[in-house]
A and B are shown apart, each in its own frame.
Chain A
Amino acid sequence: MKRGKATTAEVREELDGLRRRSADPPLAGDTEILLFRVVRELLFNIVKHARASAVGMAVSRAGGEIRVAVEDDGVGFEAGALRQGPTPAGGIGLFSARERLALLGGRRPGDVRRGAGPRRPADSGACSLLSELLALRSRAGRNTGHGRSRTRMGATFTAKATENVQAAEVLFEHGLYNASANRAYYAALQAAVAALTRNGIQLDRIDHDKVQARFSGELTHRRKVYPSRLRSYLMNLQAVRNDADYRSKSVSKKVAKRQLNKAKEYVEILRGES
């Protein structure tokens, strides 16, 4: 618990530090902004009303939930005395904060209570002002615009990957091995795009090299989201696809079968994460 004077910069730094240290996917931008504003609002109310000499704040993240605990040693105040709406300075007001948190699936803060003087919240049943616990379900920003967009893109590319695996299978059954190898590669590429999106890795565009590098480097090596044996699947599938599309020599049945099985395995494993 950090105690003492908390400036806006320090609040931001605490949240940034939490983000850097966390192995969880990053919060959606607007979730992060709201969290910052709510905490800032709490601190503002302490400064204005609590006559506190010390403020403590603890931020933790576990199990898809973010918890922010703000404590002070002040006198407490009536909840009705708090600003309810937006402030001239651009604050969102405690009422708005509660409503916005509720929209994101957060629990409403408990009511503040008027105390009779400086007290340590842990010692007292009637806790002092603003021992507010904000529980904000992060879920990788699923309730926000950014989260919904990522979810849609992930689902779209997963569906395309599945479609291309089926296409590769049909083509193989008809003896069209070059075309099958082509679809097998694209099935894997689209599955990788979906996986990257679901894991919060934004792609400006679908660049084959970047997709391969980000998937292998981030998702199999650094974060270990997927088994390490998948790290070179895309490269392997692409090399055979290049032969199929750009060389006069045809892909053999055995090689095409191998590629089809690789693509199916790859798509299946990546789909299992959604």
Chain B
Amino acid sequence: MFNDKQVELSQMLFDKLKGLFPEIKLSGITEGAENPDNVWVNIVMPGDVDREIEMRELASDISTDILLDYGYHVSIISAENSGESA
């Protein structure tokens, strides 16, 4: 499904977010719904909405760097498990 680089970049994205938002959890990586070449890093989001907003800002910066540097679209998405949050 994904190549080694995509997996590596997905893990890097999560690790960077985890470093600043330790409450988040990785649920797995999946293909994008509209574009299977896109990687969705499924994350259990912070419970606090301000923290969530802050984390999304950081995630989008990292994802943009990945897109420009490596050409892969790797982004975060809420883990699909009944609206659970960290």
Q: How far is the CB of A217 from chain B (nearest CB, A)?
A: 5
Chain B, range 1-55, C-beta contacts under 8 Å to A: 32-35, 37-38, 40, 49-50, 52-53
**For the complex, is A216 an interface residue (Cβ under 8 Å from B)?**
yes
Task: Give the docked Cα–Cα distance between A7 and B72 (Å).
Answer: 45
Q: Hey, what's the 0/1 contact readout for A210-251 against B, CB within 8 Å counting as 1?
A: 001100110001000000000111011011101101111100
Partner of A247 from the list B37, B67, B75, B77 (CB cut-off 8 Å) is B77
B77 contacts across to A, CB distance below 8 A: 239, 242-243, 246-247
Total count of chain B residues near the partner, CB < 8 A? 30
Asked if A238 meets B75 with Cβ closer than 8 Å, knowing A208-B35, A221-B68, A248-B80, the reply is yes
**Chain A: interface residue count, which band?**
20 to 34
**For the complex, is A258 an interface residue (Cβ under 8 Å from B)?**
yes
Partner of A232 from the list B34, B40, B52, B64 (CB cut-off 8 Å) is B64
Q: When A and B form their complex, which 7 residue pairs have the shortest distance between CB atoms, in order from nearest?
A: A236-B60, A232-B64, A232-B60, A235-B60, A249-B83, A209-B73, A247-B78
- Identify 12 residue pairs between A and B in the complex whose beta-carbon atoms are under 8 Å apart, listed by A's number: A209-B73, A212-B73, A235-B63, A235-B64, A236-B60, A239-B59, A247-B80, A249-B80, A254-B49, A255-B49, A255-B53, A255-B56
